[in-house]
Structure formats: structure tokens, C-alpha cells
């Protein structure tokens, strides 16, 4: 099963970066951006006002490869975020860790509506800890790559009135939750039954909305929302919600200010809302409409 998932990741990554063409192909629209943001603070040992020396970096990569020919469309997206924080006297800790891949095949039934089938994958790169010491004096491991990993398929209709906004409605959206790390797969964590490594939710629905637009000159806002509804657990507190936002302001060709925020509500993970947020100044490299020969 892990080999199948890794193959799925490789295929989606390849689609977003390589489609061999000798001549420019107007059926494909490609975008790519990658950046690193840095934050640093330093205090002398005798600094009386208080404070602690620290250094942090956040990195992000966003890529799209969208195909359109007559009524047929095929949209592919990759979003990756990873960051580390190091305070003086402490080991480094993660500040953000996210992998999101999405592929959607659509067929237009009108100027604004498409029918579609899609697959998306959500996980993280490295181990995550709850920094309270356990009985053995170690940080408590709570997540890892593919632990959890969410693979969701969906069938439904999409409303796309313009290039920067879309709304997907999927009455059938089976999801597979994986826990590949046995040290994470305890106490029915992430809703996976004890002694199992996979949870399957066949009867479910999903709603997705995305917004990606330059709201001012050199200022881009990207919003992504997803809700997941298991028909067998149909109550308000059992509906999963995920929201991701990125606001990027370009100072010049390469320097940017970047504000990121992620919100998650998943009762199987925690009964409260989870969130992280980062603000940084960094380097951003972008490409649009390119061909890979």
C-alpha cells in the first residue's frame, strides 16, 4: 500500500513539472513558485529587558499544471510547506509541515459548471512531537510521514465562474486514512481502529472551495477550504474542516513578505480547532506559462 501511495505522489509531482513539448502548447497553463522566509533574533546574555535568541525558517512550494481542450479539463496542484524553529538552549522544532497534492479531471456541461472526478493526498514530511515528556523522559511522537496520510477520491460537480474561484460539491467522496508508523498508531489516533493501519470511509461527502487572485498590484491572496462529511457520523461536531491561506506581497522581483495560516478541525484528532500561522520576509522565485522541453 505504501508503494502505491508513493507512486501516486511521484506521478502528480511529475505532471506539475514536465510535459515535453517542442512548440509552446496553449492547452497547458503552468505556474510555479518557491520561497524561503527567515526570522532571526539575538540577545546578549546580560540583556536586561529579557528575550531569547532564536532563528527560524519557513519554506514553501506551489505548482500547478492545468490542461484545457474543448470541454475537457485536467487540473493538477502541489502545495508543500516546511519550517523549523530553534530557540537558544532548546532542540529545533517544526513550525510548519504540510504536503497537499490534488488532481481533477473535468468535463464541462455549461460555461460555469463541470462534472469531475478527483483525488487528493494530504500528509507531512517528518516526525511531529507533542513536547510534553512521557514516562521515559522522551518527547511524545504524535505524527510522521503517512501517519497520518489522507487519500480522498471524489465524484461530483464543480462551479467555476472565473479563473480565480471554484467550488466543488462531491456527494460521493471515499477517504482512506493511513498510519504507517506503528508508534503513532495507538489509542485509535486519527480515528484508525486499534491494531489497524488504515481507516476506510466509503459513505461520505466533500465540499471544496478555492480562491487565488492578485488582489492588488504585486499582492496575491490564495485561500483553500475543504470540509469532509461522513454520512455515518452526521453531526455538526463530526464534520471535518480544513482552511489554508497564503498572502504574498512582492517587494521586488525576488524579495517578498509572506503570511501563512492553517486551520484544522477534525474531531478524530482533537475536539478543539488547531491552527498555525507564520509571517516572514524572504526570497520568492516564480514562473508562469512555461514549457518543459
Task: Give the model's pLDDT for residue 216.
Answer: 96
| Backbone phi, psi, residue 131, to 5° | -85, 55
Domain boundaries, the chain: 2-19+28-288
CATH architecture of 2-19+28-288: Beta Barrel (2.40)
Residue pair 242/264 in contact by the 8 Å Cβ criterion: yes
Please compute the mean of the pLDDT values over residues 120-145 and round it to a whole number: 87
The Cα 7–Cα 190 span in angstroms is 24
pLDDT tens-place string over residues 201-218: 999 999 999 999 999 999
Task: Give the model's pLDDT for residue 10.
Answer: 58
pLDDT tens-place string over residues 155-180: 999 999 999 999 999 999 999 999 99
Other Cβ atoms less than 10 A from the Cβ of 281: the count is 12
Residue 176 pairs in a beta bridge with 151, 200
- Of the pLDDT bands very low, low, confident and very high (cuts 50, 70, 90), residue 133 is low
Amino acid at each position: 500500500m505504501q508503494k502505491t501511495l508513493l507512486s501516486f505522489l511521484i506521478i502528480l509531482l511529475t505532471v506539475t513539472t514536465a510535459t515535453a513539448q517542442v512548440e509552446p502548447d496553449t492547452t497547458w497553463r503552468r505556474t510555479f513558485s518557491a520561497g524561503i522566509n527567515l526570522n532571526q533574533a539575538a540577545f546578549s546574555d546580560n540583556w536586561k529587558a529579557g528575550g531569547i535568541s532564536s532563528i527560524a525558517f519557513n519554506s514553501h512550494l506551489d505548482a500547478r499544471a492545468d490542461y484545457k481542450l474543448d470541454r475537457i479539463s485536467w487540473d493538477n496542484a502541489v502545495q508543500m510547506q516546511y519550517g523549523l524553529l530553534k530557540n537558544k538552549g532548546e532542540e529545533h522544532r517544526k513550525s510548519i509541515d504540510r504536503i497537499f497534492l490534488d488532481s481533477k479531471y473535468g468535463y464541462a456541461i455549461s460555461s460555469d459548471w463541470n462534472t469531475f472526478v478527483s483525488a487528493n493526498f494530504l500528509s507531512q514530511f517528518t516526525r511531529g512531537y507533542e513536547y510534553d515528556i512521557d514516562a521515559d523522559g522522551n518527547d511524545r511522537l504524535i505524527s510522521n510521514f503517512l501517519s497520518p496520510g489522507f487519500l480522498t477520491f471524489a465524484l461530483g460537480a464543480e462551479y467555476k465562474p472565473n479563473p480565480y474561484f471554484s467550488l466543488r460539491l462531491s456527494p460521493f467522496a471515499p477517504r482512506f486514512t493511513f498510519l504507517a508508523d506503528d508508534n503513532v498508531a495507538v489509542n485509535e489516533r486519527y480515528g484508525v481502529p486499534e491494531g489497524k493501519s488504515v481507516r476506510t470511509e466509503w459513505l461520505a461527502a466533500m465540499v471544496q472551495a478555492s480562491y487565488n487572485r492578485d488582489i492588488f498590484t504585486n499582492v496575491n491572496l490564495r485561500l483553500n477550504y475543504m470540509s469532509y462529511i461522513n454520512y455515518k457520523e452526521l453531526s455538526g461536531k463530526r464534520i471535518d474542516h480544513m482552511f489554508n491561506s497564503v498572502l504574498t506581497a512582492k517587494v521586488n522581483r525576488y524579495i517578498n513578505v509572506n503570511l501563512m495560516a492553517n486551520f484544522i478541525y477534525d474531531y478524530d484528532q482533537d475536539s478543539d480547532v488547531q491552527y498555525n500561522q507564520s509571517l516572514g520576509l524572504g526570497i520568492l522565485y516564480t514562473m508562469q506559462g512555461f514549457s518543459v522541453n
